[in-house]
Amino acid sequence: MAISTMKRARRLTVVAVFAIVAVAAFGFAAANTVPASKAGDGHGAVSGYTASGVHYNLNATNPGNIDSVQFTLDSTPVAGSTITVKLVAAGSTWYSCTNVGPAVTCTTTGATVLTADDLRVVVAD
């Protein structure tokens, strides 16, 4: 009978230790705080602009160079939008633009008539 009592005492000790560890772990997890935040996922339609009235302003001294490009978009971009253009399809040079309403002007220093084969416009709201 003494052996049975010892086994029971060991089991009780193991259960007690397990219970203490579980309560301590729960207490630690309950003490963690996570600040409130917003998170989300969604989608929206991306529609393009239509450019019209494209005008290439050639350099007065060397008409083989394009000083700037002007065009009008079909609607005014959102304030703070980034507008850029590229004149060479296979090239990597992008030119920054400014706009007043839907009227856009892009300074294209270094662009040449000889290499210009594309007008790619990117407007990022």
> Does residue 65 sit in helix, strand or coil?
strand
Domain residue spans in the chain? Answer: 1-30, 51-124
Task: Quote the pLDDT of residue 46.
Answer: 74
The model's pLDDT over 5-24, given as tens digits with 9 standing for 90+, comes to 666 666 666 666 666 666 66
* Cα gap 20→8, rounded to integer Å: 18
Residue 102 burial (CB < 10 Å; 0-12/13-18/19+)?
middle
Taking 90 as the threshold, does the pLDDT of residue 119 lie above it? yes
> Does residue 17 sit in helix, strand or coil?
helix
The model's pLDDT over 52-107, given as tens digits with 9 standing for 90+, comes to 999 999 999 999 999 999 999 999 999 999 999 999 999 999 999 999 999 999 99
* Cα gap 48→45, rounded to integer Å: 10
- The letter for the amino acid at 65 is N
Tokens for 19, please give them: 């219970």
